[in-house]
A = this chain, B = another copy of it.
Amino acid sequence: MEIIDGKKISNIIKEEIKIEVDQIVKNGERAPHLAAVLVGNDGASLTYVGSKVRSCEQVGFQSTLVKLPYDTSENNLLKKIDELNNDKEIDGFIVQLPLPKHINEEKVLLAVNPNKDVDGFHPTNFGKMALNMETFLPATPYGIIELLKRYKINTSGKNTVVIGRSNIVGRPISILMSRKGNPGDSTVTLVHSRTINLESFTKNADIIISALGVPDFINSSMVKKDVIIIDVGITRVKDDSHPKGYIIKGDVDFNSVKEKASYITPVPGGVGPMTIAMLLKNTLLSKSLKK
């Protein structure tokens, strides 16, 4: 069994980005610039945004954090997005989700200029991805594709089972894995909450990509020998023996499947660190497309 080391790969990608940024700056241009909009003070969101800002510093990007109070009106947020859309010094920006309930997420998503939508969440970019046109791929699925590529895992003709049909992971990775290309060309089955006899699918899978958010959901009895497992689940589970009071768990019972799998992503340290690396890669792409 080989561990797919997302932490290591994400650091390699960041180093590659840093080299490109150094070259850009050396050429007398400004560095790529990523902005993040955060509404409210949700703990997890603060952590995510903070780590995005730190990653920008690591690779030499400029970054801007726009903090708005929890009771910001939808209109006010849309105005801020319009400013960022029109700011020529900003190559890409993200709106950290979830948003407060009084704000319509769909409306906000649609307001982002697709050319600056480095999260790849805008329907125009999502549609381009599905139609195999060049665009910003959503960061987490993009990270999975990059891990498969760097570990030289052949996906063509393989039976890939994707668990969960969310807009940010399950749906897009199911499309990417079945598109023409490499990684891609898999026979993909998308299973979800309405699926009957889920095990009958996972047992025949060469590759399982799980984005369910249920800790230890997958154990060795549900998979076949030499399966490749990509675990996208990240759930905080209460654990008083740890200083933080919780531990992070994936969808896969790692100890149960580790002898049976040929490759597996750990949690933490697998897909997680890749998401930010790919967000930076999209921002770099956005800057280069503008030239």
Contact = CB atoms under 8 A, between A and B. Distances in A.
Interface residues of A, number: 34
Interface stretch (A21-29, A85-93, A191-199, A276-284): A191-199
Contacts of A175: 130, 171, 175
Given A175-B175, A186-B194, 4 more contacts: A123-B130, A125-B127, A156-B194, A187-B196
Interface string A204-217: 00000000000000
A171 B130 contact: yes
A112 to B, nearest CB: 13
A130 B179 CA distance: 15
Tally of this chain's copies: 2
A187 B191 contact: yes
A221 interface: no
Interface string A173-206: 0010011100001111111101110000100000
Contacts of A180: 165
Nearest to A156: B194
Interface centre among A127, A175, A186 (most CB of B within 10 A): A127
